[in-house]
Amino acid sequence: MLGILLIVAHLLPAGAFVPLTQTLSRSAVSEQSLQHLVTPPSQQKRAVHQDSFTSFGPAGALLVGAAVGLAAAAARHKSHTCKRAISSTACRANPTAVFETSMGMFKAELFLDQMPITVSNFVDLAKSGFYNGVHFHRVIPNFMCQFGCPKAKDPMNPMAGTGGPSDGTSYEVLDGSGEAVTRRGGGNIPDEFTAKIPNKPGTLSMANTGRPNTGGSQFFINVNDNSFLNWYDSSTPSQHPVFGEITEGYDLVVQISKVRTNNRDAPFEPVMMKSITIEGA
């Protein structure tokens, strides 16, 4: 448990309030010890189920044919309904984010259908160029890569990890509702603890200070199965909602997590985000 708390404290933005671990000296914890305290990713097993078909004779064939016809009609009706309800995210594919870094490119699906408030915040910032020229300010192998602090445009800035969007700025939630969200309390957005999406390898998750509603622009990419960071996991006080998942270039992110770092886990050779382009939103 101590190991998990130390890792959680390390994930929070530098200088932030750290619940339950504020008496621990962060400088006394080496990168090497953190690596050993991280639980290796669990083996992800997926059971694939295949429907079995049995011959029922002519009468059964008629029933099956009727069922197939009804299903096809229902699908056509749903398609027409989706075309009419163009404002519904359920009828659109989720947007894709294309990350161009100084080490290469990777892509991620953004879960707009499940996390509209969080994804819309990210899309707004990306489209405004907020992330362009920002560096990864904390990378830990077998754990995660953290990014998104505007103060990390200077890769050596000791305050990297403490910044966020401008307070009072707003954005539209892209779910067709027309709702607008204003960033408060230092550029923060409301916690979106709705979809139970696990912090598994390749997922994008919101960083925060440990207090409610303190997420802004910073996020991290998991390179391990970090289930103890799930907002619905009561084993630790950490609550980090997932809002996307890498679909292309995951190996590059793992490579970034393994670069040589200093005592603040910042890369010695800066890794810069050249641009983030949003497709489909």
Catalytic residue among 136, 183, 229, 230: 229
Cβ proximity of 198 and 239 under 8 Å: no
Q: Per DSSP, which regions of 25-152 are E strands?
A: 96-101, 104-110, 134-135, 138-140, 144-147
Strand partners, 100: 105, 275
> Is-catalytic flag, 125?
no
> Is-catalytic flag, 268?
no
Catalytic residue among 220, 224, 230, 239: 220
> Is-catalytic flag, 5?
no
Catalytic residue among 94, 188, 199, 208: 208
Catalytic residue among 111, 130, 143, 228: 143
Cβ proximity of 229 and 11 under 8 Å: yes
> Is-catalytic flag, 122?
no
Catalytic residue among 10, 135, 137, 138: 138
> Is-catalytic flag, 147?
no
> Is-catalytic flag, 46?
no
**Cα–Cα separations (whole angstroms), residue 229 to 146, 154, 163, 176, 263:** 14, 28, 21, 30, 23
Give the number of other Cβ atoms within 10 Å of residue 28's Cβ.
Answer: 8
Catalytic residue among 94, 114, 146, 226: 146
Closest CA to 238 of 174, 180, 191: 191
Q: Which residue has the tokens 């990210």?
A: 122
> Is-catalytic flag, 229?
yes
Q: Residues with catalytic annotation? A: 138, 143, 146, 208, 220, 229, 240
